[in-house]
Structure 1
Amino acid sequence: MSNQEVAILNVGGSKFTTWASTLRRFPESRLARMLNGNDHEFRLVNGQFFVDRDGTLFNYILDFLRTLQLSLPTDFSDYQRLQREADFYELHSLADLLSQENLLKPRPEILEVRFLLQETQAFFRVFGSCSNTIEVLAGRVTMFTEQSLRQNWNNNPFPSQKLLTPLPLERPSHHDLVFQCGTDYSAGDQLVARYSPCVAFLS
């Protein structure tokens, strides 16, 4: 295929049309070898080169080939996945740019703390968009439930005392910390809520 011919790619079901010269911008890349018929992983199907990769991320790959600039949305966060695609296509200059961008670009982090009522149970939940932060908190946060303890020796009631009982930590995902801090129970025909006050300690 000459540089003046149009190349059509089907990347993961998304169709792209560009000049062959654009795909040959980096002669050592797999896209250039694809046009030369030297990479058998890229198959020509009905006049289109089929590539079993992420079509959404290929938009950024093709834009880089056209402009030789890395232009990403301000809220872009898939640096590792895009760098993996750049490595797959053997676009080493793009992979290097993504590595620098990923290190330098500040990324907003979300941290949510909620008390949840689900069916007959109550939960204290911490959600974080950054799994590393959640991993750190999992090793430092201890949750206790506060219970009243009343003793009766020789029929003489002592004043109520507060007893702190540690709650087991649940990890439904890499982004969650969950503590079950109460349940409902039935009393006759009525459903009675029994939620214990919770105390959190950060070591």
Structure 2
Amino acid sequence: MKSKILEFIENNTDSWEEKLNARLIRISRNGDLACFKYMAEADFSDPLVCEARGIVIDVVQLSVVCWQFDKFFNVQEQYAADIDWNSARVLEKIDGSMIKLFWYKDAWKFATSSTCDAKDAAIPGYNELTYADIIKYYDWQFAEMKHKAEDMMLYSRRLYEEYDHDRKAVAMTIKDSPYAWAGFKAIGNEKDITDIMGVLVSANVEKLIAEYPEISR
């Protein structure tokens, strides 16, 4: 499926920016990239407006480099989709700030819904902080967590040997450490550490503990 905005640019090579602005579509530039984001007052019956939900286009090469999803509407809104409720599945909708990740010119790029680069998105109320700083912080957090998990995997496996492969004894020893649980879960399987990281989620840790009811007492 070809982008409607990209087609519009190709058909209006000298005036596309002015014409899209007239449709209340904001354009954020970064080098050859342009990010398109509708304003709240835009006409949402216009397919171009609905597509402008953060799509990023290389306007020199005339190619889409990031296209997450278009504008969608709540069921009570004017332009909501015609839904067949007999076959529909309902999932929870959680609001938040959309962060885009895309590959461009041999590197991964982070961006927000209205920028080509997260460094260009200031955080309201915080001097000199951008969304790039938040992303970098959580990247460090994950790196630290991964390091701890790898250490605890070794610890858990050592305990496993010391307790003569008694899984229950190991579980009771490490019950307060989610990092150790990651190592414990890894015993006997060939999963990569990134797959095992999922057990650090508290709900999954509780699920593991439930396998050994003696621990909860």
Question: Do both share a fold (TM > 0.5)?
Answer: no
- Larger RCO: 1 or 2 (CA < 8 Å, sep 6+): 1
Write 1 or 2 for the structure with the bigger share of helix: 2
Greater Rg by CA: 1
Write 1 or 2 for the structure with the bigger share of strand: 1
